Structure 1
Amino acid sequence: IKEEEKVAVGKSAPYFRLRNAEDKDISRSNFKDQYLLIQFWASWDTVSRANNAMFRRIYKKEQKNKNFALLGVSLDLDKKKWQETIKADTLKWEQACDFSGWSGEIIKQFAIQTLPTNILLSPTGRIEGKNLDEKAIENKLKEIAEKEKEKSLTTNH
């Protein structure tokens, strides 16, 4: 419960660093000034795989949105299987994995208990939402777009 409270909506997200599918280090600071939707999944989890379709739709709609990014964090243990699934499911957004399964550092940091799980972070690293469905994500993105429009209107006058 203590771990859960640390990552409740409204709290600051923990700092993380992972290796991405291109074997480069990525961390929360790679997504600074962006809303970041972290998708926790695994190639062996059928619900995660089914959920990938929703994330594909979101990515397709939002890939040009500079205020929003998507990050897939896998609990896979097998690198080859993970890479094959990324390809098979056409996951074109940033993907990362530490191949530690449930004992991975980021899994502990975010107190992930079930798959799939998603967490939305604000540009300042605050947790904005958890386990959002497609409609909730779309609403959040509309909200973000409105805020950005207002910001550009006030800075242009």
Structure 2
Amino acid sequence: MKYVKWIFVVLLIGSLTSFVEKDKPTGGLNVGDIAPDFKIQSMSAGQPLAELSDMKGKYVLLSFWASYDAHSRMQNASLSNVLRSASRNENVEMVSVSFDEYQSIFKETVRKDQIVTPTCFVETKGESSGLFKKYRLGRGFTNYLLDENGVIIAKNISAAELSAYLN
């Protein structure tokens, strides 16, 4: 009988703390935050991307993904297709960053997914990279739409939402 009381107390405390976690953001940055600046090496041209802050004045779609994460890969490909087919996308620049640890896997995935953006990069340090940590992607890959001042105005935007925004 003594142990039953303790088990009940532990279950009660556990159920109360589970409600606290539900109000927290799911991870990463949130709408209204300023996107952290970064510079990343381009694998094709050998030139580093100008710092993210150099893109101010344009809307930027940051897409973080990896070939082993089916959802983020699919999302990245569909967003790339929307921007490629949109007639008025000159004001939106897509920066696609893969966290694949092998350049060969990244290149094959880009080829298969037909991603033809000149700003498609790979961070071969994967999840241990500073960029992964800076954007707090530990709970999953995401994408961010930034306004002309680098402020996040949308998070986890779908291809349909992006298409509607462009029109």
TM-score range, shorter chain: 0.7 to 0.9
State the distance in 1 between where 2:150 and 2:134 align: 14
Counterpart in 2 of 1:15? 37
Q: TM-score, normalised by structure 2?
A: 0.73
Q: Is the 8 A contact 1:35 1:68 kept in 2?
A: yes
Query: Which secondary structure state, in structure 2, belongs to the residue aligned with residue 57 of structure 1?
Result: helix
User: What CA RMSD, in Å, does the superposition of the two structures yield over aligned residues?
Assistant: 2.3
Q: Is the 8 A contact 2:63 2:76 kept in 1?
A: no
Counterpart in 2 of 1:123? 148
Query: Which secondary structure state, in structure 1, belongs to the residue aligned with residue 34 of structure 2?
Result: coil
Q: Deviations over 1:102-129 (max 9, x none)?
A: 1221211111134441111111100111
Q: Does 1:91 align with 2:133?
A: no
Query: Which secondary structure state, in structure 2, belongs to the residue aligned with residue 65 of structure 1?
Result: coil
**How do 1:30-69 and structure 2 match up within 5 A?**
30-62=54-86, 65-69=89-93
State the distance in 2 between where 1:52 and 1:39 align: 6
Structure 2: gaps of 5 or more residues: 1-23
Query: Which secondary structure state, in structure 2, belongs to the residue aligned with residue 17 of structure 1?
Result: coil
Query: Which secondary structure state, in structure 2, belongs to the residue aligned with residue 18 of structure 1?
Result: coil
State the distance in 1 between where 2:87 and 2:100 align: 25
Q: TM-score, normalised by structure 1?
A: 0.77
**Structure with larger Rg:** 2
Aligned length: 140
1:135: how far off? 2.3
Q: Does 1:108 align with 2:133?
A: yes
Q: 1:138 to 1:114 in 2, by over 3 A?
A: farther
Structure 1: gaps of 5 or more residues: 143-157
AA aligned opposite 1:15: D
Q: Is the 8 A contact 1:76 1:97 kept in 2?
A: yes
